Structure 1
Amino acid sequence: MKPGRTARHLSPIIFLFLFVSCQQKIDEPKILLSDLVVPTVDTANSRWFFFSSACRPFGMVNLSPDTQVGGAWGSGYRYNTDTIKGFSHVHAWQLAGVSVMPIVYSEENKSTVFTGYESKFSHETEKVSPGYHYLELDRYQIKAEVTSTKRVGFHRYAFSDSGKAAILFNLNGMLGPSLMKEGTLTQTSETVLEGRTVNSPTIRRPKDCPVFFKAELNTPVSAIERDSITGNYLIHFEDIESQELLLKVAISYTSIENAGLNMQEELPGWDFDQVVADSRREWNAWLGRIEIEGGTMEQQKRFYTDLWHALQGRRIISDVNGAYPDHTGKSFRIGQLPLDTNGKPKFNHYNSDAFWGAQWTINTLWGLAYPEMMEEFTASMMQYYQDGGLVPRGPSGGNYTFVMTGASATPFIVSAIQKGIVKDDLEEIYHALKKNHLPGGIMEKAGYEHKTALGGGLGYYIDKGFVPYPIPEGQFGYHQDGASLTMEYAYQDWALAQLAHKLGMEEDSNYFLKRSQNYTNVFDPESGWMRPKDVDGKWKADFDPYQHEHGFNESNAAQSTWFVPQDLPGLAELMGGKKAAAQKLNQAFETAKTMGFTAGTSHDRELHPEYSRIPINYGNQPSIQTAFIFNYLDQPWKTQYWSREVVETVYEGISPQRGFNGDEDQGLMGSLSVLMKTGLFSMKGGCSPEPFYELGSPIFDQITIHLNPDFYPGKTFTITAKNNSSENRYIQSATLNGSEWSDWKILHQKITEGGELMLEMGSAPNKNWGVDLSEE
């Protein structure tokens, strides 16, 4: 990991800022890339796991203030709410835990302190950056700061000189997605506390999930008071007005002892400012994998904010010693990750939302800039397979959730193998993935279908070649939208077939390749759209291609018709040829442009009739690949045009009021934005025998990807866009390492060998570049 560049390598705006600063200071300040991140982007529309401040990349602890705590949606840090209700340490997919609130009490308010402890705050005095959050609790005149290591939260509070200082530990009650219960706290020495709280089951996570903690303070505890109604704890201190109160809280999903070990290993000292500085350096190293030049200051800030989002949300659940929670069986157990020769875990175990849509997002971004994360996540998912018998599609707290649909982990893992990131135990991995595609596997289950295996309609898909809508057996989970399921399974079957072919299993490969053509069974030639069929194979009556979620998961037919990444030539043939398909798609973009390319400015607006009837929605996963389809239809200049239009309309600005305009599922939309702004995409999710990327229209003058030397032979790959601007968005010509390049595709191997792609940009489309004229 290389540090971010200093002023002379950044945009002229940053350089000018530093130049002026240097006239006033002797030492030139260094601008870290982490300083360009704006964590508050889109936080007016936040959900529990969306916002981060005091956390490390993929860290177990994500410590931040909460302004709303009731439910997974509309909770956590919501920018437009001006009241702090605590600082909690876990903001993860379907998990919360250990909320603390510093207060000052008097005899007048002591009787209500357990239920009326909230405090107003102001954004005017707030400071937020990756790894750090500062705000002032107006009610108590407390200056609150938080930072963290990967598994330990670190608090610093400066109290006023009025009232008695205390810290409220809220270990019971509603916190984000979970009803927290069985919260207990004990004092083990004058400055050490320990305990646990339990996430109750949710409709998505079907089992209890405990969170254990060990807390240490820099001042003695004078008394502990437990409220008989809420079950929560108030920690009292003697007079501390003259000093700062420091609090360290280490967490673990396995035991109090391991929480203590996490603290011992990661944060034995008390230097708060040093931890903040270490966090900034770590974030800067991760963000520095991709460096940009050009664009406006706002565009640079938004780029690194997007990249920052791509590196969190999916969080570590294993301890420093490799212990992890295993809830895949009938009873809870503590698992142990394999250790290396130094006694350290070979990889981390993870909590994760679905990989639904990951083929167009983190598959590509992580595979390019963070291959070690693909390797770790593959190992983690295989650990779930070894423990519970299935590769998950979105585990929470060491448990299956069956979030969303299909076998979405298949393209992710196949991509890691095809890129050479994962090289060992390939046959074992293949058989684990194959199990999910057959009866008894995860494809059988609809979203959150915990106790049955009928909602996914896999039997119909195998026997009839499509999943009916509705499934005649009834409702067993969420997202039982048959046309979407058919198309999703077909792509995932294609991805699995590529791995079977790589391993020489041709019979399996042919079987899954044949199944990958099932998408043709839900294409209605009369309407020109994908269309649901009932169990008898009859087209859905009163079909409306713009009706949301009637046979299509979180989408409509107009959006999902284009979900055939494995066979776009075949889809075009069904539509009457490439020109007809391109015309149809272009019209969809023209219409979507008038609606801002998204179904409103947040995920919860998709169902609203004013927004849902959009033909292309870049606020959710089912149609986020569409701009790059023109490459496959012999019109790459339209990919360049529309991908730039989408980027400059949807993924722009640094306002708290908007940002991703939809469902930023733990880094998926952040990754997509980064990729589109660099001008790189991967329609097939990197699962081809020789993975390749498609070119779009980069918004920056230069993008440099620092390649991980543990995985790739090259040092850097640079994309230079000469004469680049919003108007000059079309590729006129290109060279790769000095040689002419006239293809809109570039192999993964070419990029990872290092070098430079030079693009000459212009204001008018070059309709000859990137098109194989020999085919015309």
Structure 2
Amino acid sequence: MCKHHRMGDFHKISLLLLVFFITSCTQKTESNSAISEVKEFEYVDKVYPLLDTKNSRWFYFSSASRPFGMVNLSPDTQIDGAWGSGYRYDIDTIKGFSHIHAWQLSGVSVMPVTFSKDSEQAIYTDFYSKFSHKQEEVSPGYHQITLERYQIEATLSSTQRIGFHQYSFPKGREKGILFNLNTILGSCENSEGSLSKIDDKSISGSVVALSTHRRPKPVKIYFYAELDKSFDEIRNDKNTGNYLLKFNGDTEKLLMKVAISYTSVENAIQNLEAELPHWNFKKVVKESKEEWNSLLGRIEIKGGSSKAQKRFYTDLWHALQGRRVISDYNGTYPDYSGDSLRIGNLPLNKDGRPKFKHYNSDSFWGAQWTINTLWGLVYPEIMEEFSSSLMQYYKDGGIVPRGPSGGNYTYVMTGASSTPFIVSAIQKGIVTEKLDSLYFAMKKNHMRGGIMEKAGYEHDTKMGGGLSYYIDKGYVPYPLPDGEFGSHQDGASLTLEYAYQDWTLAQLAAKLGYKEDEAYFKERAQNYKNVFNAASGWMQPKDVFGNWSANYDPYQYQHGFIEANGAQATWFVPQDIEGLAKLMGGEKKAVQKLAVQFKTAEKLGFTSGNSHAAELHPEYRRIPINYGNQPSIQTAYIFNQLGRPDLTQFWSRKVVNKVFCGLNENTGYNGDEDQGLMGSLAVLMKIGIFQMNGGTDEDPVYQIGSPIFNSITIKLHPDYYSGETFTIFANDNSDPNFYVREMKLNDEVLYKTSINHSDITVGGKLKLQMANKPSSGYKK
């Protein structure tokens, strides 16, 4: 049966899983046993949305949102700047409820208010309100909060494209809703905001999200709002340009639906009619919870502490966050790849529905070690949809993007990071059609004229990526002699990144029978060797004349290396760890070198402080392994490929217990949580499987680590995979029992510490016997 015919059955099965029980186990390490405590719960009840919100970022926090929803409705306590903005836990003032928290996009902020006749004019500029966390409730798809200044209880939920507001007003004062349409919101300024009355219960309007350093073109946002009660009038303040909807003083309860579209008011109205034709607020909250439960329930864990389980499902929830839908319900979407806005139309199925959704997304830089694996195994339909969206950008603008925003190219980060993502989807059998077209689209990015030529945010030129030097000389020089053309012009890192991405493209060329291309890109994939200095033992920048950088310090941050130092970046050769080890003098020496780096990094907690900004701090920038940013998050699993799986088990468990164990507002990802990448990493390390090369080889390989739970059951998607479930059992698992002594796949002994994608997707059981001493009998 084809996958699209079976989607409905799978969703029905997923919803039935919501009522299941799960065992919550408390480990007794003294006796290496576990006492099981059975408790009924819904998966969303295990999510802690406030994780790391003291270090929040505009698109980081989510509450009243559906998975990947166009609308991410939540309170804003800090509105100025992409970093440290949005919902910040330690700021006690609400500045509005905005509907869009996305990569380089923001918009449509509203605030319910009360006022007197004397204070009405002042409300346009003085409308913030204190609040208390004691009067707040947050869960996936839901946020309730009390505005202390007004004594208004505001409750928020949403569908995918509609924000749903429920307000309870106090008696005896004038009431209104302020539409703060002309303001700074996170990463960009909102301007040209306008609002018009349609009738006594509905309005429409628009606002422009002005261009940013990262998104070079403005994006227009349209909205349509309906209320369940009539408003008396709309007032517009000439100084701020903002609008106030005034209500009868007797109004105590009010519901408002706000539909968003990036194409037109008419499509915003269609979005509302399709997704939210009723006024049942409780129903929307229930349906949102069910949708989240359905996705979170794809992985069922048993064992571990209650805290560990809550953190796990919070990580899994983050893996489905950040990237946002930009297409309407009917499949229309904004295309800004040309000189002006074009309204595009996604291809439709026979039933007239879009075949996929179109997305706004931060870079896939680092996705090879995170969402490539998690989405490809647990959420293949999401991976397919994103692959289709990336190709839609190619059809419109001629380049496969690495981080599109609102129909714009942003050229965020470097390289062709979408290549491993799409190749992984193909190798796993998720994307199966028009593979030759996909190959040539991606190949374009790897050649002159493609996205590899552009450094980070290099919008108008194509020199900063140094691709011509990479092709002609086999490396990207540092400094680049042509000048400064953007961000991240760090030649040694660029060389390593391009070499890996070339290898992934070579795998697809081999699959499709393009032998000359396969040989060409495999040869380019060896370019990593050109920036390894045997004398220093590290990857090291070279100038354009081939001279190694003088007075080289492998712990100097961002000196030839992107968001990393040389010690961290030296291990960025996921396509050829054995070849890297040979350069270092053999596997034994490579193991010794990496083990010393881990021991040193452990003293600093394996991260550069607890935020991305701390990486530049003198205390943290010299750390040799950093699990707070993408460049070295694969390193614990390198030991597996060097014949020391015991060290993979040892250090991966140490990292999880230090970096990804907290469950509070002050910490969580300790750095750069780029739209689910670090959440995905945490999930993979906790279930004990990892793909070193991003799952881009034929029948992709999963390295086995040290799972922290007694059992992990992955419910396989029947539209993509033949098996029903794959369960990993970690018998006698405990804090001291983190080593794997014996492994059996479907009751057959395994003699290597890896399994293939095909081993998992047919369903089955992987049984690990955990112990406090390592095994010495496993092969690579």
Same fold (TM over 0.5): yes
Do structure 1's residue 621 and structure 2's residue 634 form an aligned pair?
no
Change in 2 beyond 3 A, CA 1:187/1:443:
same
Give the structure 1 partner of residue 8 of structure 2. Answer: none
Matched residue, 2:726: 717
1:654 to 651, 663, 678: 663
SS at match of 2:232: strand
Q: Unpaired segments of 5 or more residues in structure 2?
A: 1-10, 28-34
On the 8 A contact 2:21/2:38 being kept in 1, the answer is no
Q: For residues 124 and 18 of structure 1, what CA distance do their matches in structure 2 show? A: 29
Structure-2 separation of matches of 1:13 and 1:247: 45
The answer to whether the 8 A contact 1:709-1:715 is kept is yes
CA distance in 2, matches of 1:124, 1:582: 50
Secondary structure at 1:298's aligned position in 2? Answer: helix
Residues 534-554 of structure 1 show CA distances to partners (whole Å, capped at 9, x for unaligned) of 110101112110010000000
> Equivalent residue for 2:24?
11
Q: Equivalent residue of 1:97, what SS?
A: strand
Q: Out of 182, 186, 189, which is 1:179 matched to?
A: 189
2:60 matched residue in structure 1 = 50
1:526 corresponds to which residue?
A: 535
What is the match of residue 599 of structure 2?
Answer: 590
Aligned-residue offset at 1:280:
0.4
Helix, strand or coil for the counterpart of 2:216?
coil
Aligned equivalents of 2:643 and 2:743: distance in 1? 17
Residue deviations 1:395-444 (CA, integer Å, cap 9, x gap): 00011000000000000000000000000000000000000000000000
* Structure 2: distance between partners of 1:319 and 1:362: 25
**Paired residue for 1:198?**
208
Quick one: distance in 1 between partners of 2:460 and 2:638? Answer: 39
1:438 maps to 2:447 = yes
Matches within 5 A, 1:741-752: 741-752=750-761
Contact 1:292/1:702 (CA < 8 Å) preserved in 2? yes
Is structure 2 residue 349 aligned with structure 1 residue 345?
no
Tell me how far apart the structure 2 counterparts of residues 203 and 380 of structure 1 sit (CA, whole Å): 24
Shift of 1:109: 2.5
Q: CA deviation at 1:743?
A: 1.4
* Residue identity opposite 1:654 in structure 2: L
Residue 125 of structure 1 deviates from its aligned partner by 1.3
**Pairwise CA distance, 1:162:** 3.2
Query: 1:451-508: per-residue Cα shift (whole Å, max 9, x none)?
Result: 0000000000000000000101110000000000000000000000000010000000
1:685 is aligned to: 694
Name the counterpart of 2:31: none
- Quick one: which amino acid aligns to residue 679 of structure 2? G
**Counterparts of 2:299 and 2:21 in 1: how far apart (Å)?**
16
Matches within 5 A, 1:266-665: 266-665=275-674
The answer as to whether partners of 2:23 and 2:36 remain within 8 angstroms in 1 is no
Give the TM-score normalised by structure 2: 0.96
Q: Which of 146, 160, 163 is equivalent to 1:150? A: 160
State the secondary structure of the residue aligned to 1:197. strand
Contact 1:356 1:405 (C-alpha < 8 Å) held by counterparts = yes
Amino acid of the residue matched to residue 588 of structure 2? K
Q: Deviations over 1:716-751 (max 9, x none)?
A: 000000000111000000111111112111000110
2:776 matches 1:771: no
Deviation at 1:10, TM superposition (A): 2.4
Q: Match of 2:101, SS? A: strand
How many Å apart are 1:8 and its aligned residue?
4.1
Q: Deviations over 1:217-262 (max 9, x none)?
A: 0110101111111111111011244x41100000000000000000
Q: CA 1:247 to 1:18, structure 2 compared with 1: closer, same or farther past 3 Å?
A: farther
2:140 matched to 1:127?
A: no
Q: Quote how far apart the aligned CAs of 1:708 are.
A: 0.4
Q: Residue 498 of structure 1: SS of its match in structure 2?
A: helix
**8 A Cα contact 2:722 2:761, kept in partner:** yes
User: What residue in structure 2 maps to residue 24 of structure 1?
Assistant: none
Q: CA contact under 8 A between 1:58 and 1:311: conserved in structure 2?
A: yes
1-structure distance, mates of 2:699, 2:725: 20
Q: Is the 8 A contact 2:721 2:761 kept in 1?
A: yes
Mapped partners of 1:6, 1:329: distance in 2: 49
Tell me if structure 2 keeps the 8 A contact 1:157–1:244.
yes
Q: Distance in 2 between matches of 1:143 and 1:240?
A: 16
The one-character-per-residue Cα deviations of 1:28-82 (angstroms, maximum 9, x if unpaired) are: xx52001110000000000000000000111110000000000111100000000
Aligned mates of 1:516, 1:740 — CA distance in 2: 35
* Alignment partners' CA distance in 1, 2:243 and 2:67: 31
1:357 deviation in Å? 0.2
Secondary structure at 2:124's aligned position in 1? Answer: coil
CA contact (8 A) 2:557 2:622 kept: yes
Q: Hey, what's the Cα distance between the residues in 2 that align with 1:743 and 1:130?
A: 40
**What SS does structure 2 have at the residue aligned with 1:318?**
coil
**1:325 counterpart SS class:** strand
Separation in 2 of the partners of 1:459 and 1:585? 33
* CA contact 1:7–1:18 (8 Å) conserved in 2: no
Give the Cα–Cα distance (whole angstroms) in 2 for the partners of residues 289 and 560 of structure 1.
Answer: 34
CA distance in 1, matches of 2:499, 2:673: 25
Distance 1:435 1:375 in 2: 21
Q: Indicate if the aligned counterparts of 2:172 and 2:250 stay in contact, CA closer than 8 A.
A: no
Task: Return the alpha-carbon distance in structure 1 between the equivalents of residues 761 and 490 of structure 2.
Answer: 39
- Paired with 2:315 and 2:406, the residues of 1 have a C-alpha distance of 26
- In structure 2, C-alpha distance between the alignment counterparts of 1:737 and 1:255, rounded to whole Å: 54
Which of 737, 759, 764 is equivalent to 1:755?
Answer: 764
C-alpha separation in 2, matches of 1:162 and 1:42: 39
In the TM superposition, residue 314 of structure 1 has moved relative to its aligned partner by 0.7
**CA distance, structure 1, for counterparts of residue 399 and residue 370 of structure 2:** 23
CA RMSD of aligned residues (A): 1.2
Contact 2:637 2:652 in 1 (8 A): yes
**Normalising by structure 1, what TM-score?**
0.97
Q: 2:100, 2:108 within 8 Å by CA — same for their partners in 1? A: yes
Deviations 1:349-395 (A, max 9, x none): 00000000000000000000000011101110110000000000000
Q: Deviations over 1:117-170 (max 9, x none)?
A: 000000011100000000100000000100000000000000011311100001
State the SS of the aligned residue for 1:166.
strand
Say which SS state the counterpart of residue 620 (structure 2) adopts: helix
- Structure 2 distance, partners of 1:544, 1:111, is 60
1:168 aligns with 2:169: no
Contact 1:32/1:284 (CA < 8 Å) preserved in 2?
yes
Cα distance change on mapping 1:348 and 1:74 into 2, 3 Å: same
Q: Could you tell me how far apart the structure 1 residues matched to 2:26 and 2:738 are? A: 22
Question: Residue type matched to 2:23 in 1?
Answer: L
CA offsets per residue over residues 633-676 of structure 1, 9 Å max, x none?
10001000000000010011210000000100000000000000
2:173–2:249 contact (8 Å) kept in structure 1: no
Distance between the aligned counterparts of 1:416 and 1:8, measured in 2? 32
1:87 corresponds to 2:100: no
